[in-house]
Structure 1
Amino acid sequence: MDNIEKVTDVILIGAGIMSATLGALLKELVPEWEIKVFEKLGDSGEESSNEWNNAGTGHSALCELNYTTEKSDGSIDISKAIVINEQFQLSRQFWSFLVKSNLLRNPKDFIMPIPHMSLVQGEKNVAFLKKRFEVLSNHPMFQGMEFSDDPDQLKEWIPLIMEGRTSEEPIAATKIDSGTDVNFGALTRMLFDHLKSKDVEINYNHSVEDFKRLSDGSWEVKVQDIANGTIENHMAKFVFIGGGGGSLPLLQKTGIPESKHIGGFPVSGLFMVCSNPEVVEQHHAKVYGKAKIGAPPMSVPHLDTRYIDNKRTLLFGPFAGFSPKFLKTGSNFDLIGSVKPDNVLTMLAAGVKEMALTKYLIQQVMLSNEERMEELREFIPNAKSEDWEVMSAGQRVQIIKDTESGGKGTLQFGTELITSADGSIAALLGASPGASTVVHVMLELLNKCFPQHMKEWEPKIKEMIPSYGLSLVENPELYKEIHDSTSQTLGLSEKETVYL
């Protein structure tokens, strides 16, 4: 086999939304830098970013109950909701910049307005939702939220969910019309088309096999061309590992100290999909419920209107499953291969701690299609089995690490950026809210990995993301101005701007 050596400025591993966004940012900040992308599959956005492998929710904490918790004194903590909402606004600003600059065309191809709703049943849950509504609706970031426990009002909001409902148990919902459905697969492909036009070299069907740190601080990345088996060694000053569930094994191969004592636990997902137009037309919202007692945050049930390929469908789920693979296209040896001498105790500790999760996953795996339909009928009482089919969604690798607050082997449910001390290599691990907060994560990466350039880059960053360096929480007028302008640019409001 040939052994080819090539030098570049930046290597991006994985052709998902994370690499696409980082590449787009860098091409605006330093257009002269040479960027190469290596993707194991045959196209961009085929794994976690793919529109069928995630719920497509623009996560801004408008409807996700797990981002607002009830404290011991009965008050509602909305701090996490505020943070996630602000982070999503950064993504909206960058997407708007790309649309205004004609670097992305037709935003309706990747983002659509859709009401976001929270739905609960039972006296205790209704009381919680009402308290949550009272706190959130008084905050500038959640203006326009409505609450109702009136069945007649709920029939107007969610007729499909209310039809045939016989239970006398109290039921309530909140609704806010400023939510979004985001097709991250379409957005990823659009961004890579843009990068290709900027002379970014995108190599599909190329698998990253290993890393080697060179004496000058740069990295040698060993890449195999899957089609012909050729091995190529690519050198770069900076490497980003954005391979979704596949990022952890690659990070471990770098050998950097920051990769130690980190494990991963894969969780697969299933959705139920309805394409029957008669059913689909009766529902227009993303409706999030409350996770059952003992279930992890990622299991929050929701019924979503989705816009995929300019067609409306309904998705319900997720139902959890287990596979030892870290990617849908991964290997059954991924999990066992990720257990190393430095993380084996961390993994074992997590196994002891997370017996409830293990039990939950076993229960989910054992569900029959009819049992899944019964769970769906808790949302849609009149749901018919012939209208719904089960679809396999993406793999998510939940990060396990040792933390001060949780101790050894603590399971993390968020998104985590790991960077080397010198900022020469970075990897993104974890799951939700993930793609929705991609611009926030990439700005964090730029600050950690390129601190020497940030002062020089700041004017351009502010042009792309006007709120950069400012707190939208502390500037409600700026929040409203930015929210309104991005809504107009992205076609999310009645007033739209056309960019020729």
Structure 2
Amino acid sequence: MSSKETKTDVILIGAGIMSATLGTLLKELVPQWEITVFEKLANAGEESSNEWNNAGTGHAALCELNYTVEKPDGSVDVSKAITVNEQFQVSMQFWSYLVKNGLIHNPHDFIMPLPHISFVQGEQNVEFLKKRFEALSNNLLFEGMEFSDDPEMLKEWIPLMMQDRAGNDPIAATKIDSGTDVNFGALTRMLFNHLESKNININYNHSVDDIKRTSDGLWELKVRNLKSNTTERHIAKFVFIGSGGGSLHLLQKSGIPEGKHIGGFPVSGLFMVCNNPDVVEEHHAKVYGKAKVGAPPMSVPHLDTRYINNKKSLLFGPYAGFSPKFLKTGSMFDLITSMKPDNIITMIVAGLKNIPLTKYLIEQVMLSKEKRMDELREFIPSAKNEDWDIVVAGQRVQVIKDTIEGGIGTLQFGTEVITAADGSIAALLGASPGASTAVHVMLEVIEKCFPQHMEEWYPKIKEMIPSFGVSLMDNPWLLDEIHTSTAQTLGLVDQELDTAEVVEQIVTEEKELVYS
């Protein structure tokens, strides 16, 4: 064991989109601070942020039906959709700032314009979608949304999905053209490349094995170099635990009271990916359906056009499943070792409450390819087995905690930040909408952990995120200005080229650069 000890201002654990975002924000606010990053894997964005592990499309609540709940009186509650959309606008503003100031380049390497569509079948679901459309379409955040239950119109919107579809069951869809496809793996790598150019110390193949408070109030990390198998000690004033499913174990090791009575419920997933380019070309949208009765919110089926390495792809899923691992590269003992004396009652009660969910997830794991194809054919009736392959998605760990509303052992579907009372350490837990709202979530971390600096930092934050501190809903002129400027900066509007032509142009330009 090495006796090496290093002191730094900030340590970020995990090289995913959250650490990349927080590191970039802090470097803009206080360039002189020393920031060190530790990542267990060999590269940035390899776990939950990776483009093959992450649903990928910007969660702006434009089409995700699980963000709009039908209330007992039949009305549709759209408050969560509005909140998620506003949070996504914050991300768009920050990405726009980065591009404008040359901190990252080529926005089409990580974001592309893509229509977002909600699709439902059955009379009851059609009625729900109509009510949802009426509740959202007059809202400025959802301006431009269209509704149709006309099969001829739907053939224009989603030709692949309408091909060979039997005309018995009522169907309907909403469409909004201002949606996006976001490659969070690519964005994460771009942000870390930028941070590396700013002399941030990024350590890959380094595992944080322990974390504890020192007598003078700092944090000491025991870090293992996986290549040399040596151990180092690193001291920091502030620590952010942003290691996806691995965050819970490190939060527990920190010993802060705020981390007590919290557990994690792991959910695995699979996607089907189309290997037939002709089929891929027939679909151009992100299409969300409704989750089946008993299915968790994170398994809402969706058929997504994706742009990965500037190549158009088509994915369907996710098929939820259960694995005791907390990370795709984690251990089969992750769930067991996360059970501690302070959270064991919470975990046991959650297990008893969620037996039907666990049964559903295990059944999903056991599905044959043919059964998975049956689910896909509800979206694409003409889908052929040979055109689709299975891809294993990333692990998600849903937060379990005791709440006033849900009682002991309540499963939380969302993203949560746990911070120490003095703001010296913060941990990110949970899943969707996650990456899409990373900038909003990391600004919350900054506000909670550095309140003494907020007055000084406020002008710079406003420069990066013009809507910071105000509601876009209450400031329509600002919303309009932000929509226009971010879309132009990120290359999402005012182009005569369609998305496919944009990709072709990017590839051509890259070839010209190589050969010039």
TM normalised by structure 1 equals 0.98
Give the whole-Å Cα distance in 2 for the aligned partners of 1:250 and 1:283.
Answer: 42
1:335 and 2:344 matched: no
Q: State the match for 2:158 in structure 1.
A: 158
CA offset digits 1:164-184 (Å, max 9, x no partner):
001411000000000010000
Give, in whole Å, the separation in 2 of the partners of 1:401 and 1:264.
9
> Could you tell me which amino acid in structure 2 is paired with residue 25 of structure 1?
L
Work out the CA distance in 1 between the residues paired with 2:157 and 2:382.
17
The residue identity in structure 1 corresponding to 2:33 is W
Quote the residue 2:419 is aligned against: 419
Q: Which residue of 1 aligns with 2:322?
A: 322
Amino acid at match of 1:458: Y
RMSD of aligned alpha carbons: 0.8
The separation in 2 between residues aligned to 1:103 and 1:130, in whole angstroms, is 43
Query: What's the CA shift for 1:75?
Result: 1.1
Query: Which amino acid is the alignment partner of residue 371 of structure 1?
Result: K
One-letter amino acid of the structure 1 residue matched with residue 147 of structure 2 = F
The runs of 5 or more residues in structure 2 that have no matched partner are 497-516
CA distance in 1, matches of 2:377, 2:284: 18
CA distance in 1, matches of 2:3, 2:476: 57
Aligned to 2:441: 441
**How has the CA–CA distance of structure 1 residues 163 and 495 changed in structure 2, closer, same or farther, with 3 Å as cutoff?**
closer
Cα offsets for 1:444-471 (capped at 9, x unmatched): 0001000000000000000000111111
Q: Describe the SS at the equivalent of 1:25.
A: helix
Task: Supply the distance in 2 between the matched residues of 1:134 and 1:105 (Cα, whole angstroms).
Answer: 39
Residues in 2 aligned to 1:159 and 1:299: alpha-carbon distance in whole angstroms? 24
For residue 186 of structure 2, what is the aligned residue in structure 1? Answer: 186
Q: Residue 301 of structure 2 contacts residue 316 of structure 2 at CA under 8 Å; is this kept in 1?
A: yes
Structure 1 unaligned segments of length 5 or more: list them: none
Q: Is the 8 A contact 1:3 1:230 kept in 2?
A: no
Which piece of structure 1 moves more, 351-360 or 284-293?
A: 351-360
Following TM superposition, the consecutive aligned residue runs of length 4 or more in structure 1 with deviations greater than 3 angstroms are none
Counterpart for residue 267 of structure 1: 267
Preserved CA contact (<8 Å) 2:322 2:358? no
- Is 1:96 equivalent to 2:99 in the alignment? no
**1:408 and 2:408 aligned:** yes
Alpha-carbon separation, structure 1, partners of 2:226 and 2:294: 43
1:27 aligns with 2:27: yes
Q: Aligned partners of 2:174, 2:286: CA distance in 1, in Å? A: 11
Return the offset for 1:495. 5.0
**1:331-480 aligned within 5 A:** 331-480=331-480
Whichever residue aligns with residue 197 of structure 1, its letter is S
State the AA in 2 paired with 1:148: S
Q: How far apart, in 2, do the equivalents of 1:165 and 1:42 lie?
A: 46
Matches within 5 A, 1:246-325: 246-325=246-325
Measured against aligned partners, the alpha-carbon deviations of 1:394-439 in whole angstroms (never above 9, x if no partner) come to 0000110000000000000100000000000000000000000000
Mean alpha-carbon deviation: is it higher for 479-488 or for 182-191?
479-488
Distance in structure 1 (CA, Å) of the matches to 2:161 and 2:217:
58
What is the CA distance between 1:55 and its match in structure 2? 1.2
What secondary structure is seen at the aligned counterpart in 2 of 1:59? coil
- Rounded to whole Å, the distance in 2 between the matches of 1:400 and 1:448 is 22
User: Does structure 2 conserve the Cα–Cα contact (< 8 Å) formed by 1:147 and 1:174?
Assistant: yes
Trace 1:196-207 onto structure 2 (pairs within 5 A): 196-207=196-207
Q: Give yes or no for contact 2:275–2:389 (8 Å, CA) kept in 1.
A: no
Assess if the C-alpha contact under 8 Å between 1:327 and 1:394 holds in 2. yes
Counterpart residue identity of residue 86, structure 1: E
* Offset of residue 317 of structure 1: 0.3
Secondary structure (helix, strand or coil) at the match of 1:207 reads: strand
Q: Secondary structure at the match of 1:379?
A: coil
How far apart, CA to CA, are the structure 1 residues paired with 2:448 and 2:366? 44
Q: Deviations for 1:105-137, whole angstroms, at most 9, x for unmatched residues?
A: 000000000000000000010011011101100
Partner of 1:481: 481
> Offset at 1:275?
2.8
Aligned residues: 496
Q: 1:193-247: per-residue Cα shift (whole Å, max 9, x none)?
A: 0000000000000000111211221101110111111111100000000000110
| Partner SS state of residue 117, structure 1 | strand
Larger deviation, residues 5-14 vs 471-480: 471-480
